Structure formats: structure tokens, C-alpha cells
Chains A and B, each alone.
Chain A
């Protein structure tokens, strides 16, 4: 029956109706993992099947029935190493569970394994993992996207029912698009970051990566809301994110930013046109609009995120954690440990960030980037006076080939061009499968105003149903 291919909500229905047992789901998952994992390589760590079977038995009365969830390996878990796909943390065992993990466990989920990522979530292809690259289940020659590439590939290859990712500038949405699944980056502050190993603290958000929109809403229900351990988290405004699913979106005004679609051509352009058609069929209105500061989003994003990263990664200094490369002097301990412990992309960002914060350069780089960020926020604020949602592709292209962009960081950075603005503005955005380009999944992104996840999911759900039919 391949229960591993079904979304979480369907499995829960079947379990609740006593038609299936969670252990059958687990068995199917491990069968798929045994078949595919040696070439997909989505996981850095995997739970032993026996442990999950035991836990499923113990948790069968809880709402999530002991079903396993995959977790990106930059989210802390007690029972697994949390490596961030970095040599620095290759044997690091957290002493606490991230708040999201704690909440999922409390709801009766188990953790299936820890998924691969670009080192410290820095990258758009998954190739920056210090251990191995993950492959796109739709085309093994291609990347799964990044940085949550392992989570996206695991869900797409049915090696997981659903997963958690983290998104700083598109790290949930872009791999979701590349792998043909659904990925939600919630509003900044909706989900606790406690236990998420920080890349860029003012941008990082954890979010669900699932087979469909309903699963996204369902997982959000379990993980969203204020956490006293995270000062930037807020009370959730919505009790049940599945509530609006299935309601019509007639009269919704959906904005199409000209800066996002002007340069699209060929099949990508055709995809966007088909989405417009679907939306009109659903009774929504398409509104052309402008987000004039879009072109500054990528440089502002790389300055801000790298600046924060340069501080967040300073704790990896050779004093603690895995790698101490030298004991010759304090200086040598710092510099050699960091030289050996970090990969090239991480070093590049630390250098960018260190430079941007330096005396004499701070105003010109970090300061200016913050002012651009404010302007981008204003762009969205005025757009949301006119529209309910903003529509765009998630990424300008479908999945590219492994190795294609590793030597060209700028080309790599540009694959985030549609996802970064919403990150800078702290807005919720979702990527859902929007058809194919050159036979590969092509993601549709919807962006909503702050804390409008319920409406965002409702629109995404309507579109998902329309596109499927």
C-alpha cells in the first residue's frame, strides 16, 4: 500500500479509523529508506527502526500517534547528534531538544532522523554539506536545493512523511520548489528558534516541509506560538491553521510584482500565466504591482545575514565542540581550528560579515543594508494595502545540476531572488508545486502579510486543489 507516500493527515485519519497501525507506516518508511537512501542521501542520522516502533507503541494515544518526522540537522535533538553538516559539530550531541522538537514529541511525534543541509544552512543547493551532497529525487543529476535540501528530498522521495526545515532567505521554499513539495516559512516570531543553531538570527525561521498544504497547516498547529525561551517569539494569532482550508478565495486580490516576473521567459513564464488563470477560475483578482526595492534585496540580505553569521559562528573557536586544530597558542587554536572546521562558503560569509561590521565600513555596508531592509518592508506594507497575497515563482529556475553553480557564488545567490525579500520583511511565504519546467518541478510562491498564515494556507490550498485537478 506504500503508506509512506501518504500525507500525515491521511495517515492520522486511517490510524484513527483503525484501518492501519503506525508500525506499518514506519515499516514502509524504512523500506523506502533502504531502497533509496544510498543514492538520495537525505539523512545525516537515522533513528533505529526498533526504537521508533517502541516509541510509536508508547505514543499511540497522543494526537500524532507516534508517527515519525524528519528534522533538519541544525535543529537540536537530544537523541541525535546535531551537526549542521559541519566538521565543527560532527560529533556534537545537544543536551536539550529544540522547542519545536519538544512540542512535536509532546504531541506524540517521534524523530525519524536528521536531514542533510548546506553547512550551517548557508547555501542554495545542499552541496555545501561538509559530509556529502543530497540528490534531487526527480533527477539524480540535480540538486535538491538548499539549504533544507535533505528535508525536501526525504519528503519527495517518500523517505519521510513530513519534515522540519529552516528558512533564512529561502532555505525551506527553494528546496521545496526544487523537489516538488510544499514548504512554509512562517512569519518571523511565530515559531520559537530555541534550539535552532543560528545562522542569521533576525531572519531564521523554522517551518514545515510536507507533501501537501493541509499537512503544513497541521504541523504549524503543533509548533507555532510563544516560547519563553525565545524573546523574539510571539503569541500565535490563530488557534487552528487548518480551519480555513477548503474555504473559497473568491474576491481575493493577488498581486503580481512586475519586478519578479519581468525577466521570466519560456516555460517559467507559461507557468506563471497558468497560475493566473487558475486564480481567476477561483474567483480571485490579479493585480499588477511594484516592489521597487526588490533589486537591492539580495545584496542587503547577504550583508545582514553574513554579519549576523559572523557573530553567531564565533563560538566555534576550538575551545569546545569537535575540532581543536592546534594547542600552540590561543591565536593558533582559534585560527587553525576555524580554518579546518569551516567549509569555504561558511568562511566566505564570515569574511563578508566581519568586513561589513568593521569600524569605518559599518555604516556603508551593514547600516545601509538595514536601511534597504526597512525600504523593502515598506514596499510590502504598501502592497498589502492593495492586495491579500503576492504571487511569484519560488525560484527563477527549476533544480540545476550538481556542480553547475558551485564555482559561481553570485549565480548561486541569485536563485534566492524571489524568496529573500519576504525573509527580509519577516513575512510568511509558502511554496507549493506549480507545474513543471523542462520536466522538473517548478514552485509557486505566495507571500502574505505578517501573521496571515491562516489566509495564506487557505489560498495555497485552493490553488493546490485547482492545479491538481
Chain B
């Protein structure tokens, strides 16, 4: 049985102001209706004026997705009644969208074709009160969105999730969308069908999937539901479904007969949007290296395992950090190991997107480890402290006296003392329990506050134990 999935993704653009007025687009958490004006409230007589920055952001996304940009695109009114839609229509694009015919390359190498990408405004929000009425908050009304429609090129729920993750990565690399699905700044509807042969089956549309997991789960459920019907010879009804996260199932929202007629027509309040070659080229030149390009280059340049590359290129800031550290300390695998174990953990704990540890400080710590000046345990502490305080590693090591004890004389004294105090472990070792050396080494570390050079300690312990 063949599964065919296409996704329609809505991404909020990170512009300062809304798509057609100068109200702040930062609606999240703002007091209700604080960011509104006659234009985004849809007051009689108010007119939209297009935000150029939003066009630029949409162009960035379109060009990153390898789309064609027609010289002219046209805004259109999408007509429907809903209390969160103040004008009774949404300004969108229909017959002549901003961009057409692109593709997104998944980490697997598969290219998923993009049918179109267009600009539109978001609607407001309803707050349903338990008392039985609803309140309207129009802070979000007019926030710029891009809608990205894929061709039905995805062949499994897992692939749909990969597509969504990669798309989010691209948009975040571009800095045009925060990609936060829980907050709703990235939203996804799916069209899905199954069929026993090469012909396309009847599709259903699924809405209300608010996380990557939900996308995968909802599609798995729907594919299974459709397969069971097809296997029994039952027809699939074309319908719009909604994903019920709590119950883990898709539910009917409206049937084909109830489908809305949006009566699109060209928006007479706006002139056609003209994008000339110069504008397109300027935006194209401003694009950063994108995740797929970066992954390919790292494979070549750093010869890192695929897993490391996927983790470290997930966020542009992390990837760039990695590269600046490697620029100072040219041992990519070493840097990768430390980043994946220490830096990403600290980043997660700090709950920010900024790595507070300066690349040169991180590189210096790695140098100190490789030269034997500090051991790995101490290095972790130094990294953590420098991450927190911004102090230089040398300063931290000096201030806390953390330099590794590799001086034979000093170490020999401590080793002798540990052996004398732990006769049982010594006896265990000598009766063949070689693991006992680990305990003894731990005691040396404890006694030195972790400063003992582990390699030297082990050598010295073995030497003494075998000598007796």
C-alpha cells in the first residue's frame, strides 16, 4: 500500500511590525488588544500598506527553498466569517503567489518539491471563557505568515516529520521564523492518502498538529485508519480532520460538502507586488550557508560522523560556534565530543540560545587538556565556570589551583599514602582483582581534589603494586 503525504506549513515571520500596519508583531504574552490599530482591527476606512521587510523575509525563505520568484505577485482576499477575523477576509495570495516550484532537501538526501510559497496575514485569537462566552484578542491579527505548500512527495509519517524538522531548521538558519510549534509560530496541516496501486487515493486533510511528535502520531493514525478501510474495500471520504492529541486519534471536522468556498479575488487595496532581478539577487546574496550545504561541507572538511554533524548543525548558532572553536583548535572530532557532552548540556541548562562560553576560552580549555595542564574532570569544571562567569580558563585554573599534579615527587607521596591506608584494595589487586586499581586511583584523585594527572597516577600505582 502506498502512502502519499503533502504538507502545508504556516510560518510566522519574525518582523518587528505586522504585515500591513506598524503595530508590533510580538503578540505573544502581550495584554489583549494592546498591539492593534485601525488597520489590523479592520476598521471602516482603514487600508493596508505592505511591510517591505516581510517581503524580504518571505523571499529569503523562498530562495532558500530554491523557488522561482515571478516578477509580479498579487494579493488576494480570502473571504470567510469568523470572530477572530476582523475584516471578514484574510489578505493572502492565491493565483499569483510570491514563489513557485522549489524543493527542500532532507538530511536523507531526498528532495521534496515545494509547490508554492506565499505571504499572508494571521488572524486574531479567541479566548473561550467557561462562563459561556468568548473574548477576541486581535494582537495576532495581521502578523505576517508565509504558507509553504509541498507537493505530495512524502511517503511516510516519519518522512513528514523529517521534512518539518528540516524546514524549521532552514527557517531558523535564515532568522525569519522562531519555529516554535507550541507557541504556534510554526503550524502544519497535512494532506494524506493511501492507495493499493500507483493511482492517488482520496485524501483527507489533518489540522491541529502542534508538535513534531503530533505530526508523526497523527499521520501514523490516519494512514492506519485509511489502510484498514481500503483493505476492507471501503471508500475513503474526502474530509477535513482534526488531531485529538489527548485521545490520540483524528476526528471529523467537516466533510467535503461542508467545505468552505473562500471566494478569492484580487485585493484591490494593494497594488501587485513587483520583485525585480536586483531585489531577488540582493536577497539571494544575503542568504547564509544552509543546513544541507553545511552538512555536506562538514562531511568533506571535518570528516565527522553523520550523527555528530546532525547534532551540531541543528542550530545555526551552535554550528557557527563549533566552527569558530575548530578555527582556534583544529581537532574537529575532539571539539565535537566536548561540545556534544558538555556545551550542549550547559546550553540546555542555561535555557538560552546563546553559548555564553567564548570560543577562545573553550579552545584554551581543550589545549590545556591536550597539553596535560589539567585533566578532563577539571576541564569540565573550568568549562562550567567560564560558561557561567565569562572568566578566562587560565584565570580560573590559577585562582583555584587546579593545575594538574604531574610532578613525580608530589604524586609519589600521595600514592604511597593511599596504598598504606587501603591494604584491602592492595590485597585484592594482588590476588588478581585488577579492578581494584580503579578504586585506588579514585582515592588519589580524591586526595588531590581531582588534580592528579590520571595517566601518571595509574602508571605510578601499577609500578608500586607490582613492585611489592
Contacts and interface: CB of A to CB of B under 8 A. Distances in A.
A231 B263 contact: no
Given A94-B44, A201-B269, A314-B81, A231 B38 contact: no
Contacts of B44: 76, 82, 84, 89, 92, 94, 197-198, 315
Interface stretch (B62-70, B86-94, B355-363): B86-94
Interface stretch (A130-138, A207-215, A276-284, A305-313): A305-313
A123 B136 CA distance: 34
Given A314-B89, A315-B88, A357 B265 contact: yes
Contacts, number: 97
A35 interface: no
A319 B43 contact: no
A201 B89 CA distance: 14
Given A311-B79, A315-B42, A354-B263, A194 B87 contact: no
Interface in A185-201: 193-198, 200-201
A84 B44 CA distance: 10
B328 interface: no
A98 B46 CA distance: 9
Contact of B261 (A232, A314, A358): A358
Nearest to B77: A311
B106 interface: no
B48 interface: yes
B50 interface: yes
B88 A94 contact: no
A92 to B, nearest CB: 7
Given A307-B265, A315-B86, A357 B79 contact: yes
Contact of A94 (B43, B79, B86): B43
A364 interface: no
A95 interface: yes
B77 to A, nearest CB: 5
B447 interface: no
Contacts of A39: none
A230 B89 CA distance: 19
B47 A229 contact: yes
A197 B38 CA distance: 12
B29 interface: no
Contacts of B369: none
Contacts of A333: 83
Chain A at the B interface: SS class: loop
B271 A231 contact: yes
A354 B81 CA distance: 13
Contacts of B263: 310-311, 354, 357-359, 362
Contacts of A416: none
A327 B133 CA distance: 9
A182 to B, nearest CB: 26
B38 A95 contact: yes
Chain B at the A interface: SS class: loop
A45 to B, nearest CB: 16
Nearest to B80: A314
Contacts of B396: none
Interface residues of B, number: 29
B431 to A, nearest CB: 83
A96 B41 CA distance: 13
B45 A314 contact: no
A228 interface: yes
A371 to B, nearest CB: 13
Interface residues of A, number: 45
B79 A194 contact: no
B228 interface: no
Given A95-B43, A194-B47, A315-B88, A231 B136 contact: no
B270 A98 contact: no
Contacts of B265: 307-308, 311, 357, 362, 366
B223 to A, nearest CB: 29
A194 B45 contact: yes
B423 interface: no
Contact of B49 (A195, A229, A334): A229
B45 A311 contact: no
Interface string A330-361: 10011000000000000000000010011100
Nearest to B263: A357
Contacts of A55: none
A315 B87 contact: yes
B43 A98 contact: no
Given A89-B44, A193-B47, A197-B44, A317 B81 contact: yes
A366 B76 CA distance: 14
A94 B45 contact: yes
Contacts of A89: 44
Contacts of B261: 358-359
Given A95-B38, A201-B268, A231-B271, A317 B88 contact: yes
Contacts of A197: 44-45
Contacts of A308: 265, 268
A318 to B, nearest CB: 9
A202 interface: yes
A229 B143 CA distance: 18
16 contacts: A76-B44, A89-B44, A95-B38, A96-B45, A195-B45, A197-B45, A231-B47, A232-B270, A311-B77, A311-B263, A314-B88, A319-B136, A334-B81, A357-B265, A362-B263, A362-B265
Given A89-B44, A94-B43, A96-B38, 9 more contacts: A76-B45, A202-B268, A231-B47, A231-B50, A232-B268, A314-B81, A315-B44, A315-B88, A319-B83
Interface of B: 38, 42-50, 77, 79, 81-83, 86-89, 133, 136, 261, 263-265, 268-271
